[in-house]
Amino acid sequence: MALVRNTWKFLPPYTVPITSQSRVEGLLDGIFFLFNTSSYADGTARVTGSGVAWSFYKTSSIINGVTEVVYGYPATMSVMSQSVIFAGSASAPTISLPAMTVNASFVANSLYVAVQKQANWSQYRSWLSGSIFNSGSSGVNTGSLAKTGSGFAPIIGASVTGIGTINAWECGESVAIACHTTSSTATATALSFAGIAGAFIDPESGDTTVDSEIDGRLYAVATSGVVVGLTFLSLTTDFLNHNATAANAKFVFIQPNSDNKIILNLLETRTLTYLSISNRGSLISFPMYVKDASNRFIGRLREIESIRNSVSGYVLRTSSSDLGYVIGASNAAAANAVMLTAI
């Protein structure tokens, strides 16, 4: 049984100040600013906590007062009470990343994201605690997030360098961001880093014991780790596919009714250079499905569809309204991309 359709909205692009373009706290400040704006990129009003507008907060480090964490929750909360958290610090903690096939250390000046279900957003503890929010275990983190957490996945798995623009999107149950380098060279080098977090997988099943949580949803994170490849939709270890290498792409969901993390890959990948425009010139998009490591069907990405080569951050419009928004490999070159649908 399919879930209600998500409607994605595009926030106005954020230009990172030159002095902050190679500092993770500068990116976190930008993410916080984006999710607290009063209008969308199309000019319509955005009211935090209503419609699909998430509520976001930030915390600063005790020692030097810079932003280390930005976290938020959706306007309409299901019984699973999810929260998404972005984090990173100039001096990386010595604890390990939660195991996602690799037990790696946090990298200094890098950007991470996690989702936690059954989270009490009003009782934030610490991004290094056993439970980020006051749920699950109350112990100190010793190498893995506590119950109900996805674990931190790297959006930028190496030190942040030259990020000039941040794009962000939100829908009723998920958020997505793309960080673009300042390069304007439309060549073979990918220029974007990306991450999606929240309930963005539809299990297309009414089973709330094995196939989904009790609210019918699956909670997940997908990140690029390194720059999104120009042909990422035809690869098996790039964005929207899991890569076992520590700082690379991660795609996991939290197993229903447990705290286990299950790795994911696209069920079918496509190189969308051909067969993506109709006879009359209309853009064609393709639903995207995911499987686990045992090749079992897990679900469909909710209103995230593959499209023909496009520029990341591009808005697809009719004469009167937005049709969808592009996340892709580059904001300078048309390359493999996905569309977040707006209708």
- The tens digit of pLDDT for each residue in 131-160 reads 677 644 433 333 334 456 788 899 999 888
Q: Which has the closest alpha carbon to 239: 229, 324, 288, 314?
A: 229
Please report how many Cα atoms fall inside a 13 Å half-sphere around the Cα of residue 241, on the Cβ side.
Answer: 18
* Stretch among 10-19, 33-42, 104-113, 129-138 having the lowest mean pLDDT: 129-138
How distant, in Å, are the alpha carbons of 16, 30, 84, 165, 319 from that of 13? 10, 10, 20, 7, 22
What is the token pair recorded at 34?
A: 């984006």
Positive/negative CA dihedral, 123, 125, 126, 131 = negative
pLDDT tens digits along 93-121: 777 666 666 666 788 999 999 998 888 88
Cβ partners under 8 Å of residue 174, min gap 6:
6, 196, 197, 198, 199, 200, 302
d(CA 327, CA 313): 6
The predicted pLDDT at position 102 comes to 64
pTM of the model: 0.91
Please report how many Cα atoms fall inside a 13 Å half-sphere around the Cα of residue 25, on the Cβ side.
Answer: 13
